[in-house]
Every structure is written in structure tokens, then in C-alpha cells.
Structure 1
């Protein structure tokens, strides 16, 4: 079905990639979509409203205060009209405004006013894409549920080579079409189900200023929480120390240590239908935490460690456990190690990822997973974590329905 009778609102901001948008409109309408276009003032320097009106068959909107709109509330009308809102190209400036929740033009106001799924197609210089500010802003948007499409790598208008090119028109249209098809199949998959998710690292104190931890950013777990809520679940998120915003309508409990996480999990685990252990829990803790900062006395120091409680096993071995999904972050023999963990801990499912790859997994916006059950193996290709979370949750639903 793709986009037949679906309303796609296209927001175009002021980047050179705006020249691709007439073709993008054609690709969307070819899939059956009704398309309306919104331009920022700067976008009009790169593409004309007339050309976009010609290919879409609809009036192009530019100004926030439109006297021709009924009751002067054109932005509310457009926001309600849209089934999908695509911002392409999304410049670094527009991404920053969306992340901050600014509403100083029609495009950014629509982003706040719509309840439709939002898709962001970044387009900017490779160094701007790699900047800490843009990374933070993109993470914020993804965790709010925005779907990030791209960018691609290649030669840029400025002559640089790297990530920052907007995806091609057919790739963007295909992505939204595939989302529409998938969404029809998965809407409210987990309606009224209770899902608990752990995310992020834990910290095991050494003294008041030092601790043992790991590189987990929490991004994968937070993405899963956001998707689970979108699919109708009542979500509880047990989060280690991370600086990530809470996904909308998710109950969040912040913890520090593995023992803290164990306690938080078992407070309400009896009411959960599904438990997804995405957190990177420290395997060991310091036996004796120093009350004062340890002073440097010699070149070597010995810390005596003991094992932390195994949170995943403590849930899986309950008399009446929820459907239990583990995660395995490995640097070698990924699939075989994950399968051994699946069997040893009597899990329903496990998702394994290779964290030796610096472009995936820890601290990255992308990941790839091998999802194992006792009778199946599924490979989920590298993707943005929010889109990967959707693929994973569809597999969880499939297995949960069988259990």
C-alpha cells in the first residue's frame, strides 16, 4: 500500500540540498501520497515555491501568519492534516531549533504542533555534522521519537568529503513508505502491556570521587523505551547515570549501582509482562568503599572486587518470570557467546552486538544486532538506534505472542 491516501507534510529548510525537493515530492506522490510543502524563508533562495506547487498540486506555505488561512490558524490546520512530517533538508540550524523546541517560523511551529511521526533528513557540511552540538541535538530529537534518515557520505557542495549529504529523493520516499507499511502492521502491538527496560551503565564506587563503570551511553535502551511506548506499552525505564531526556510518557527511575538497579527492578517486576535488560551492568564491585578519597601512595594499588548480583538471572529464574530479553555486548565470538548466555540464563530472547566496532554500539547513534531465540537467529543490519529499536520490538512481539 505504501503511501496511498496518506498526507505527507514536507518541511524544507535553507540548504543546497533543497534543490532535490521537487524530485522528492514526485517520488512521494508516485507512492500515492498527498504532499504539502512548507518552506523557510532561507529555503526560498535554493528552491522556488512555484516549482514545488507545480509538482505537489498544492499551495506552498512559507509564512507563520497567513491571512488567507481559515481563522488565521494555518499552522494548526497543517499540523492536524499531516500523517507524516518530513524535514528535508534539515540544516544544522533547523536541527538545533527543533531540539530546543523553538517555534520562530512555520516549519518549527508545525514540528511542535503536530502529533504525526516526524522524520529528519540532515544535510550539512561534514564538520558541522560531526560537531558535538549537532550530535547532542540529533540525540535529543531521536529520543523524543523523531526518525533520523541519513545522512549519507560523499562529496559535498563545499568540496569536503564525508557524512552530511542528504539522502537521495528515492531513499527518503522509500523510507517513509516502508515505515507506513510497517506501522500499519505494528500499531498498538503492546497495548496495555507492561514493559520494563534497563538502560545505561552502572557505577561502582571506589571512594567519594572515583568509580568503576563502562562506556554505555544508554541510547539503545532509551530508544527501545520510546518505541515500546509508541506501540502502546506502559513502560518503566530503569536508567543508570546518563544525560539523556526521558522519552514521552515513560516512567523513569534513576539509579547508580548494580545493587540499586536490582532493587529498582524487583520493586515492580511482578507486574511486568516483558523485561528487556539493555543496561551494561558492572560485573564486579569494590569490596570496601573508602569513606575518604584514596591518596596516591605508590605506583600500584590493589582493589579487591566481588561479583555483583546478576539482575538478568534474578528475573529469568523467578517462579513466574516475565518474557525476558537479554543483551550481550561482545568484542569477539559475538553469536556463540550470546547463545551460551541465552541458554545458561534461560532467556526467551537475547540481542547481541559487537562493541569492538567504534561506529556501532557504545556511544554511537547506530547499532547492529544479532537476535537469538532457542530456535532462531535474526540479523538486524546497521541502522539508527530508533529504527533498530522498532525492528527489535517487532521481533519481541512475534516471540512473546508465541510464549
Structure 2
């Protein structure tokens, strides 16, 4: 596996309610070990809290950690401007089918979705889609129309539901490589 360091100083991970969310604390630990100076901010959907403890994320991440709900007191006010602290990139890791469909439809019914809808920052999607059809593909095409949205490269994984091999985008090293490319394109030439 080709491992790249994140080339920015601050990143935001939005964790959605896939069983893959249970692995995210380990990935945050890995990311911070590889990038000791990196600030990692995290938002967590309520459905993701079925698979991980927000408390553990508050110990592993060194930035702001908040639950993605309007009635939570720790939602940072800058989400209204499409920001999360000084994050230079937003990673949706893992990105469930529900989250991607809501994002493609332009919905902003949670703080993180609103942040993702209005941001001009690079967004990298690390999907965990259970399958596909014409509707799913149409929504993914809609997301690809946004110049600031890209997808992590697909890797072979194993489905938790039936242990079958599957291609998924739940790939943090790949997502970091895509984020770095997007950041390079957005920087003025030196």
C-alpha cells in the first residue's frame, strides 16, 4: 500500500452510519501517527454512534469532535459557512448510501450535510455502497458534477453482512492521496 502523508495542516472526517465506522478510531490513530502535526476534526452521525463511541474519538482526534445533529451543543458555528475549524479538506469516511443520496439531492438537514453542501473546500468521499442501480448511479453522477468532490479509489474488501469480496471506497490512504491532489490543484503555482 502506497502511504502518503496529508499535505495540509488540518482535516475534517465526517463519519456516517456504516459498520465500517467501527474501524475509524483505528484509522484516526494511524493518520495521527503518520502526521503528528495534523489537526483532525471529526463529526459523527447519530447512526454512526451505533458502531463507535464518540468519547473514544475525543481521545484520538486532536481537533473538535461533535455529533451531527442540530440539537447538539458542541456543533461549531462555522459549519454554516462550509467550514470545520481551519480544515483544508473534508473526508466523508465512511460514506453510506443514505448520506450520498442526501448529499446528491442537495439536502442540508444536519449540520455536517449543510457544511458539505455549501463548502468550497475539497470533499473526498470514501464510500461503502452495498450495491448499485440506475438511481444510485444517477446520484453519483450528480455528485461528480461538483468540481470540489472526488471519490477515494476503490479497493477490494470483505462485506460484513455475507463475508463476500466487494469493491469499496473505504480506503483512507487512497482518500488522502486524492485529497493531496485536490489541494495541489487549488494552490497557486509557486
Greater relative contact order (Cα < 8 A, sep 6+): 2
Alignment counterpart, residue 30 of structure 2, candidates 10, 27, 30: 27
Q: Which consecutive unaligned segments of at least 5 residues does structure 2 have?
A: none
Report how far residue 12 of structure 1 moved: 0.5
Alignment counterpart, residue 56 of structure 1, candidates 57, 61, 67: 61
Report how far residue 16 of structure 1 moved: 0.9
2:8 touches 2:88 (CA, 8 Å); kept in 1? no
Mapped partners of 1:21, 1:68: distance in 2: 20
1:65 touches 1:74 (CA, 8 Å); kept in 2? no
1:12-91 equivalent positions in 2, closer than 5 A: 12-29=15-32, 30-31=34-35, 32-62=37-67, 63-68=69-74, 73=77, 75-76=79-80, 79=83, 81=85, 82-91=87-96
Mapped partners of 1:54, 1:171: distance in 2: 25
2:25 touches 2:57 (CA, 8 Å); kept in 1? yes
Report how far residue 84 of structure 1 moved: 0.2
Mapped partners of 1:45, 1:97: distance in 2: 20
1:105-184 equivalent positions in 2, closer than 5 A: 105-125=110-130, 128=131, 130-145=132-147, 146-159=149-162, 160-164=164-168, 166-167=170-171, 169-180=172-183, 182-183=184-185
Per-residue CA deviation, residues 26-65 of structure 1 (Å, 9 max, x unaligned), is: 3333224211100011000011111111111234211224
- Higher gyration radius (CA): 1
Q: How many residues align?
A: 180
1:4-403 equivalent positions in 2, closer than 5 A: 6-29=9-32, 30-31=34-35, 32-62=37-67, 63-68=69-74, 73=77, 75-76=79-80, 79=83, 81=85, 82-125=87-130, 128=131, 130-145=132-147, 146-159=149-162, 160-164=164-168, 166-167=170-171, 169-180=172-183, 182-183=184-185, 187-188=187-188
1:86 touches 1:120 (CA, 8 Å); kept in 2? yes
Residue in structure 2 matched with residue 384 of structure 1 by the alignment? none
Report how far residue 148 of structure 1 moved: 0.7
